[in-house]
Structure 1
Amino acid sequence: MAVSTPRFVYGAVLGSPYAARLLGGTLIGRLPNGMAPVAIVLWTLAAGRGIALGGLLSALYGLASALSQPVKGRLMDRYGQSAVHLPAAALNSCLLVALPLAAPRGGPAIATAIVVAAGSTAPPLQAGLRALWPSILPDLRLRHAALALDTGTQGLLYIVGPLLAAALASMHSPAAALAVTAALGLAGTLVVATAPPSRRWRPAPMTSGTGTTRRLAGPQLASLFVALAGVGCSIGALNVLGVAMSDAHGRQMLSGLLPAVFSAGSFLGGLVYGRRTWPGSTTRQLMFCSVAFLAGWLVLLPLLALHGPYAATAAVALPGAFLTVFVACAYVTTDALAPTDRTSEAYAWLICSIGVGQAAGTALAGRLADHALALAALPAAGAAFALTVLLLARPDQGAACRDRHRCHA
């Protein structure tokens, strides 16, 4: 049985000094994650370059953003958040605006270079916010709720972002969509980077008796990151699956509706999770969510295989409901297992793992697009991979907390 927290726990979180500002600024600043890939594809099509190039550029933007996260996280741990956020946001915005201006003169090679550079300079706002929660919310119960709220609302970016980019491109032009994407990313980053908690933040010093050369990821943390790549694979495969279903049934809205319902389930699951303190260690909660995430995809598999588009669209909320909880528990475990002076880098590796898995899932799903059953099974395969890795690793978050006395929940 769950132990109830105060009824207005989310109100208490958002009413804490700077919490609403930092969460809102992070969401606005990360809107390019949902907008830029769509805007890039639409710009490529409008320029007459074809959907193949557009899909490649969009994938490269996301992959470059994911792979560069650990470097930016390490820089934050060394130089502070504002010193990384502001230059990164300025470069990212300039490159997105420059794409429709410079690429037509230089062809696909210039477009590819600009897109990769833009993805690489996306500010690491998500990792930065996770590192700020302990200083903003000393109360562990409120921090538990904030982490679930933070993780759950990230899915909204991939509902609002693509719709906003498509609407701007339709009403104005893809170049305008890229310009607005750049402006929102810069504005949100400014809101976060100029907030006192972000300006003052520095990583916690290493505890006594541990050297500064302690490696970031031991076997347990590395296994957690590998498992999260499986989760990312499920998400990436779902996006392609939505497109395949829309083509098969002649209903274009399915391409956006399937991932939107999945994200909505993730958001609602996070809200339910964050309102209560659940029994058992974080490790047990992580394992339970991994099992439930896989079970949700297995329940969904017959509907996908039988080509029931609307039943499958409704049912995809089931695995989505456990995504936020899975990732929130992974963040708590990462915080406990990583060195105290490298938490931003550790969070960045977590984000990178999901992003790389998502790119791999998208690529695999694209290769399996002509094999309906294999494509439908791919999200479940990613979830099964994640569960298998966790069962073999059994990351002992509790031992790390006892050693460092800073368990979050």
Structure 2
Amino acid sequence: MSDAASIADYRRALTTPGATGPVIAALFGRLPIAMVGISLLLYTQHQTGSFATAGLVSGAALIGVAMGSVAQGRIVDRFGPTRPLLVFSTVFAALAALEVTAIELRAPVPVLVGCALALGLSQPQVGSASRALWHRLLPAGPVRTAAYSYEAISMEVFFILGPGLAGLFVTAPWPGTGLVIGAATQFLGSVAFAMTRTVRAWGSRETAPAQSGGVLGAFARPAMRTVALAAFGFGLVVGFIEVAVPASATAAGHPGVGGLLLSLWSVSSVLFGVLYGMRPWPRPIYLRLPVLLGGFALLSALLAIPTSLLGLGMAMVLVGTLITPQSTTHSLAVEAAAPPGAAAEAFGWVITSVTLGLAIGQSVSGGLVESAGPRAAFLWASAAGVSIALMVWLLRHTVSGRPPARRRTSSAVSSTAIASTEPVSSTPGPRADPDTPDADPSASAARSG
């Protein structure tokens, strides 16, 4: 079964009975995701005058998200999304108010970082619940693939609007406007998503027991760890760039343009993401993970070349083409890697990995920007991404289900020795190419649902 998705498949996914309410509510619950993070970064930098401090604060918030997403995913798998989302949304709103108060009072950096960590920890994970919901509403196949692609594309739309709005609001009479509006919108959208009929029907009695993996849960599976590594590399590259681009705009004397520049790569991501979904390449998921990450990292090096904001904007458009294809591939890979009954937790591990990469990337990039300039941060982003793509390539067998080459060779030698003592058939069997699409076990996993 092909994982290519047509326009008709998108329409069938979004018009599935029971999907309309959660889809609309999730739009509001996830719209401020990029807006809150960038607003916190720009707001902190505006009040403290330091990109290094701002990077630490926004990085702490992302680490909180990384820590909270898996825990929330496990709770959702156990009890359903409604009660957890209502509780976390309420706590998130209170902590957002606390963070704003700390920034306004010029609290010490450890206090700002601690509040940001708690804020990220409580951020309601509508994204993982929404993606896991498609697993329940749709059978495996192109329509479900289209639903996952929609999730990735809609996130890019949010990343188009979020940074642009953050850059606009930071120039308002009060620079904390973007953070407050973003947090309020996320709170209302999360509550609305949790209260839809379809989501409330997702109860603990319907949830299949997940395979035990101890404390690690779904992460105990080697395939899940490889997917998470690819997602981490993706987040790391993005984290470097999300600090270096606003720093470039500030150095050029146009600080409000930084958010708009970040929005540009999401425009090309959405447009190319739809086209890529119709003819994905490479076809096997286990090859797609390292190839897309490596290509994205190599393109990121182009951001170090331009000497003007116009040139930087053009480079951002080019780099953005490989964002949505990676997000969609991560969701498809989870289909093969996640244990039964742990869909929300598995998507939580992907979110954890991406946000952990963002946090580290932003924190390191903030220091690089102040010590060596934005160009150095762009080059470090590329080098780090390529290195992790190589690691994912070496671990690709965990997702494909095939042993590594050395083990295959050893097995082949043993088979030859055994066969030498038996009669040899004169009719050779078919020989499968391990890198053909048909050899991708994720397709078999998708067929089995």
Q: TM-score, normalised by structure 1?
A: 0.84
Are 1:260 and 2:276 counterparts? no
Say whether residues 1:230 and 2:233 are aligned partners.
yes
Could you report, residue by residue, the CA deviation over 1:65-114 in whole angstroms, capped at 9, with x for unpaired residues? 12221111111112211121111011101221344457767944655443
Residue ranges of structure 2 left out of the alignment (5+ in a row): 402-439
CA pair 235-67 structure 1, distance change in 2 beyond 3 A: same
CA RMSD in angstroms comes to 3.3
CA distance in 1, matches of 2:282, 2:237: 28
Q: What secondary structure is seen at the aligned counterpart in 2 of 1:316?
A: helix
Q: Distance in 1 between matches of 2:193 and 2:261?
A: 32
- Name 1:367's counterpart in structure 2: 367
Match of 2:437 in 1: none
Matched, 1:376 2:392: no
Deviations 1:205-253 (A, max 9, x none): 359xx66769523233213312322211110111122133224433435
Q: How does 1:91-240 map to 2 (within 5 A)?
A: 91-101=91-101, 107-108=107-108, 111-138=112-139, 140-165=141-166, 167-168=168-169, 170-171=171-172, 173-174=174-175, 176-201=177-202, 205=208, 215-217=217-219, 218-240=221-243
Larger radius of gyration: 2
- Aligned twin of 1:391: 393
Match of 2:77 in 1: 77
1:141 shift after superposition = 1.2
Mapping for residues 32-71 of structure 1, pairs under 5 Å: 32-41=32-41, 44=44, 49-51=48-50, 53-71=53-71
Whether contact under 8 Å (2:3, 2:141) holds in the other structure is no
Distance across 1 between alignment mates of 2:18 and 2:279 = 23
- Counterpart of 2:226, as a letter, is S
Deviations 1:2-37 (A, max 9, x none): 997554333333222343432332231123422333
Cα deviation, 1:351-409, whole Å, max 9, x if unaligned, reads 11111111111222223224355323122113202321121101454549579844599
Counterpart-to-counterpart distance in 1, 2:390 and 2:160: 30
Comparing 98-107 and 4-13, the one that deviates more: 98-107
Shift of 1:322: 1.6
User: Is the 1:147–1:274 Cα contact (8 Å) retained in structure 2?
Assistant: no
CA distance in 2, matches of 1:349, 1:245: 32
5+ unaligned residues in a row in structure 1: which ranges? none
Matched with 1:346 is 346
For residues 43 and 366 of structure 1, what CA distance do their matches in structure 2 show? Answer: 15
Instruction: Show the 5 A alignment for 1:216-365.
Output: 216-217=218-219, 218-252=221-255, 254-275=257-278, 280-298=283-301, 300=302, 304-305=304-305, 307-365=307-365
Check 1:306–1:366 CA distance in 2 against 1; reply closer, same or farther (3 A cut): same
User: Number of aligned pairs?
Assistant: 402
CA distance in 1, matches of 2:207, 2:445: 13
Separation (CA, whole Å) in 1 of partners of 2:124 and 2:42: 23
Looking at structure 2, the residues matched to 4 and 406 of structure 1 have their Cα atoms a distance apart, in angstroms, of: 13
Normalising by structure 2, report the TM-score. Answer: 0.78
Structure 1: how far apart are the matches of 2:11 and 2:23? Answer: 13
In structure 2, relative to structure 1, the CA distance for the partners of 1:113 and 1:396 (3 Å cut) is: closer
Letter in 2 for 1:336: A
CA distance in 1, matches of 2:42, 2:319: 30
Alpha-carbon shift at residue 167 of structure 1 (Å)? 4.4
